[in-house]
Amino acid sequence: MDNRKIVFTSYNSEKFERIELLDLHDLVILQDNNVKWLEIATLDDIDLVNRIVKKFNIHPLVLEDILSIDHIPKVEDYQDYLFLIVEGMNLNDNGELEVEQFAQMIFFMP
């Protein structure tokens, strides 16, 4: 993903579009039937994180969970979205098992 922090993906059975964004202000979400995926590659930019929280009306406790690196996996149902913390595992180049934590939000949009 080179030096960009935000990747927006939109797709349906006929079309796939992936856009790398320099800033959240460049994001335009159309009201259509496409599946949409917003990937934030880093949480080091606190200004970006705060703008995402504001733009998507994310609950403060969800933000706290996202920023916590040692959280147990869970699913929470909020009014407009599901919030998930999951763990993924893979083998590194040395054959050692690595565990990564991912925070995901699934939004319900009209």
Answer yes or no: do 47 and 71 share one domain. Answer: no
- Quote the Cα angle for 15-81-23, to 5°: 60
- The two tokens of residue 3 are 């030096």
How many structural domains are present in the chain?
A: 2
* 13-60 pLDDT tens trace: 999 999 888 777 777 777 788 888 888 877 777 788 888 888 888 898
Q: What is the CATH number of the domain that holds 65?
A: 3.30.460.20
The phi and psi torsions of 58 (rounded to 5 degrees) equal -85, 135
Go through 6-30 and write b for each residue having 16 or more CB atoms within 10 A of its CB, e for each that does not.
Answer: bebebeeeeeeeeeeeeebeeeeee
**Domain-terminating residue out of 40, 55, 70:** 55
Answer yes or no: do 106 and 92 share one domain. Answer: yes
Answer yes or no: do 5 and 44 share one domain. Answer: yes
**Domain-terminating residue out of 38, 55, 72:** 55
Task: Give dist(CA 24, CA 28) in Å, integer.
Answer: 9
AA letter at 98: E
* 48-93 pLDDT tens trace: 888 888 888 889 889 888 888 788 899 999 988 899 999 989 999 9
Instruction: For residue 78, give its domain range.
Output: 58-110
